[in-house]
Amino acid sequence: MWPASLPAKGETRFANKPPPIWIIRRLFSVLGCGGRGFAGGDAGDTFSEFKHRSGAARADAFTRGSIVSEAEQPSFFDFFGGSVADAGVEAPPEKPDVIFERSARATRYRLTLKKDGTAVAIIPLRGSEREAKAFVEEHREWLERARERQKRKPRGASVWTLGTHVLWRGELTEVRKAADGERPQVCIAADVFRVLKLEGDLRPTLEAHFLRLSKAELPARTWELAAITGMSVSAVSVRNQRTRWGSCSADGGISLNWRLIQTPDFVRDYIIYHELMHLKEMNHSDRFWARVEEVCPNWREAEKWLKRNGSLLGL
């Protein structure tokens, strides 16, 4: 039975100060935590599951098996939904300098820097994290140089408005207002695109136009180059990849990133040739690159362009 001094439903009697110790003991009794209040035993096992954002010290009051002091009562009352004056906000966890990942397919240690700035160390199946850490330290200078290069890479605008320069057909081109017509339109180089309105962010609408054009142009060019090289292609798809320019499957399917329409023609063709040659060599061996050289002699220039400008397209 509830004691007569407890607040009625909807009343907040203890909003600014903790309740007396006997009421907290009675709460524990009603909640089935035993008549021993805060001291030792079963209560520690039960409440160890309820650690929350105010910190582990509060949960320790249940797990230590010690009496809660008067000084601890305000924080203790928070636990039951009362005063939260002392509840702090946890700082976000610090981002690790290097993330270690184990790979069953890797045969050696590898250190890579992702586009978001995250460094990843790959540990082969028979390797150890201790050796991986030593490998990272051995290549620490390379990692720092790579991070500096990444900071210097150009970044495209996240919001596109009139006057923004966007990469289109390999050139940074200004988004301009087109001649007045029945509906608002913008020009990018010689291409004209309809938009819903001239104000605000034009990027979603323009990228939808780019995707539509790429789905017509990229497959057509792939079939053309496949015929020239004598390669058998089963299907060509255009997708919204975030980490690669293209891919292929063993059954002859080729997938291309729609953003290739924003690159120069020789870069677009290089990616297509690259995937076509993978149909002969499903690897990046010297033999594969020799085949790429045969059909696309300027592939190195295309690779340099992608490394220099790919960040403008988010890759």
**DSSP for residue 6:** S
User: Is the confidence at residue 275, as pLDDT, over 50?
Assistant: yes
82 and 138 inside one domain: no
Range of the domain at 301: 213-313
What is the residue-averaged pLDDT of the chain?
A: 78
119 and 48 inside one domain: no
pLDDT of 287: 95
31 and 66 inside one domain: yes
Neighbouring C-beta atoms of residue 62, cutoff 10 Å: 23
27 and 112 inside one domain: no
Instruction: State CA 36 to chain mean position distance.
Output: 49
Q: Which residues of 70-87 are buried (b: 16+ CB within 10 A; e: fewer)?
A: eebbbbbbbbeebbeeee
pLDDT of 156: 81
pLDDT of 116: 76
pLDDT of 117: 82
Q: Is 157 among the domain residues? A: no
User: Is the confidence at residue 175, as pLDDT, over 70?
Assistant: yes
- In percent, the amount of the chain with pLDDT more than 90 equals 56
301 and 266 inside one domain: yes
Q: Which of 64, 90, 116 is the last residue of a domain?
A: 90
Q: Is 160 among the domain residues? A: no
Please calculate the CA angle 29-31-35 and round it to the nearest 5 degrees.
20
173 and 228 inside one domain: no
Report the domain count for the chain. 4
Please report, for residues 40, 61, 83, 86, 238, the alpha-carbon distance to residue 75 in angstroms, rounded to integers and kept in the order given.
19, 10, 8, 7, 57
Q: Average pLDDT for residues 154-177, to the nearest whole number?
A: 92
Q: Of 59-63, 109-113, 160-164, 304-308, which gets the smallest average pLDDT? A: 59-63
Determine the Cα–Cα distance for residues 307 and 315; give it in Å rounded to an integer.
9
Q: Of 50-54, 91-95, 219-223, which gets the smallest average pLDDT? A: 50-54
Determine the Cα–Cα distance for residues 295 and 306; give it in Å rounded to an integer.
19
User: pLDDT tier at 113 (50, 70, 90 boundaries)?
Assistant: confident
User: pLDDT tier at 146 (50, 70, 90 boundaries)?
Assistant: confident
194 and 245 inside one domain: no
pLDDT of 3: 47
User: Is the confidence at residue 234, as pLDDT, over 80?
Assistant: yes
CATH number of the domain bearing residue 265: 3.30.2010.10
Q: Is 158 among the domain residues? A: no
Q: Is 229 among the domain residues? A: yes
Q: Average pLDDT for residues 111-130, to the nearest whole number?
A: 90
User: Is the confidence at residue 173, as pLDDT, over 50?
Assistant: yes
User: pLDDT tier at 181 (50, 70, 90 boundaries)?
Assistant: confident
50 and 84 inside one domain: yes
User: pLDDT tier at 154 (50, 70, 90 boundaries)?
Assistant: confident
Q: Is 13 among the domain residues? A: yes
User: pLDDT tier at 38 (50, 70, 90 boundaries)?
Assistant: very low
The whole model's pTM is what?
0.59
Q: Is 227 among the domain residues? A: yes
